[in-house]
């Protein structure tokens, strides 16, 4: 009897695996969202390196475009695309061949979390998507509550060096700053990613510089601003800060802890 029960369970598992939707992700942050939702894509984009399992998957997109013919051969149930990085013309080609495309373009942390929860419809483990989204909402609420009473510190969010770019209020990166209770000196810019000059930055007197990278990069940035500006430079994991995916909450936690080292962060790792 036990043998037949085991056989039945194996057949059921195989049936469930076979029925799992075939998903293609066309950017690294979409790959991260998919895995967080319990989805293992059949193909991903270049630089999809998190989680580690993504490194072994076939790549069908890079900065030059997407491999339309190969995606058609894979017969996905859905392609997850990003307007900020995927060419509209090639996406429309896929759609003309009957491929379903879901655009995921979160402009806020809440939208990113909503997108994760919505992926339950393509997940073989939909509850994982729901649970992951709820966990992120909890982390966001805890950070906001912990740091909302902090005295705002004017900071400069630096991307690049020559030329210099920063982020305005209309970005997820600015929301990371706000979660820590701080003030982005270029939040009032009319464009999302303004190019700024050294003089413009100095005129706004930031007390902290935040950048994506490692400690060695932070040292280089600090030297770039001296002697006119001698302030702390905080290095945040670049992937956490730049990719609009689940690890943005880790970027916020890293930044808040660096800015407020005396505060005990109650969020669990």
Q: Which domain holds residue 71?
A: 2-105
Cβ neighbours, 10 Å, residue 64: 8
Out of 105, 121, 140, a domain closes at 105
C-alpha dihedral, 42 to 48 to 49 to 51, nearest 10°: -50
Domain annotation covers residue 28: yes
Token output for 217: 């990069």
Known binder of ligand: residue 4? no
Domain annotation covers residue 268: no
129 vs 6, residue with greater confidence: 129
Out of 83, 105, 127, a domain closes at 105
Domain annotation covers residue 182: yes
Cβ–Cβ under 8 Å, residues 86 and 92? no
CATH code, 12: 3.40.50.1980
Residue 234 and residue 158 share a domain: yes
Residue 101 and residue 43 share a domain: yes
Residue 12 and residue 78 share a domain: yes
69 vs 6, residue with greater confidence: 69
Cβ–Cβ under 8 Å, residues 182 and 152? yes
Model confidence pLDDT, tens digit, residues 134-171: 999 999 999 999 998 878 999 999 998 889 999 999 99
Domain annotation covers residue 129: no
Domain annotation covers residue 99: yes
Whole-structure pTM value: 0.87
Cβ–Cβ under 8 Å, residues 111 and 245? no
Residue 100 and residue 169 share a domain: no
Coil vs helix vs strand at 60: strand
Model confidence pLDDT, tens digit, residues 21-51: 999 999 999 999 999 999 999 999 999 999 9
Q: Of all residues in the chain, what percent carry a pLDDT higher than 90?
A: 85
Domain annotation covers residue 248: yes
Verify cis geometry, omega within 30 degrees of 0, for the bond prior to 236: no
Which secondary-structure segment (H or E) carries 130?
Answer: helix 126-147
Domain annotation covers residue 17: yes
Domain annotation covers residue 92: yes
How many domains does the structure of the chain reveal?
Answer: 2
Out of 51, 82, 105, a domain closes at 105
End-to-end CA distance of the chain: 45
């Amino acid at each position: 009897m036990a043998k037949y029960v085991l056989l039945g369970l194996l057949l059921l598992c195989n049936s469930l695996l076979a029925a799992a939707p075939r998903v293609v992700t066309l950017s690294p942050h979409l790959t991260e969202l998919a895995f967080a939702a319990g989805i293992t894509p059949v193909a991903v984009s270049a630089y999809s390196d998190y989680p580690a399992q993504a490194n072994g998957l076939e790549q069908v997109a890079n900065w030059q475009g997407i491999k339309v013919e190969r995606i058609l051969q894979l017969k996905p149930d859905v392609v997850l695309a990003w307007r900020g990085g995927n060419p509209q013309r090639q996406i429309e080609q896929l759609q003309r061949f009957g491929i379903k495309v879901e655009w995921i373009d979160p402009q806020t942390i809440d939208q990113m979390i909503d997108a994760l929860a919505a992926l339950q419809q393509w997940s073989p483990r939909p509850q994982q998507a729901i649970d992951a989204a709820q966990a992120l909402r909890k982390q966001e609420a805890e950070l906001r509550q912990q740091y909302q009473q902090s005295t705002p510190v004017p900071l400069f969010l630096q991307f690049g060096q020559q030329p210099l770019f920063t982020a305005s209020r209309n970005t997820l990166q600015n929301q990371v700053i706000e979660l820590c209770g701080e003030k982005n000196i270029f939040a009032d810019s009319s464009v999302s990613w303004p190019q700024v000059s050294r003089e413009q930055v100095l005129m706004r007197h930031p007390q902290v510089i935040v950048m994506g990278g490692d400690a060695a990069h932070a040292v280089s940035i600090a030297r770039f601003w001296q002697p006119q500006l001698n302030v702390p430079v905080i290095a945040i994991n670049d992937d956490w800060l730049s990719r609009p995916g689940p690890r943005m909450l880790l970027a916020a936690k890293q930044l808040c802890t660096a800015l407020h080292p005396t505060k005990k962060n109650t969020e669990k790792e």
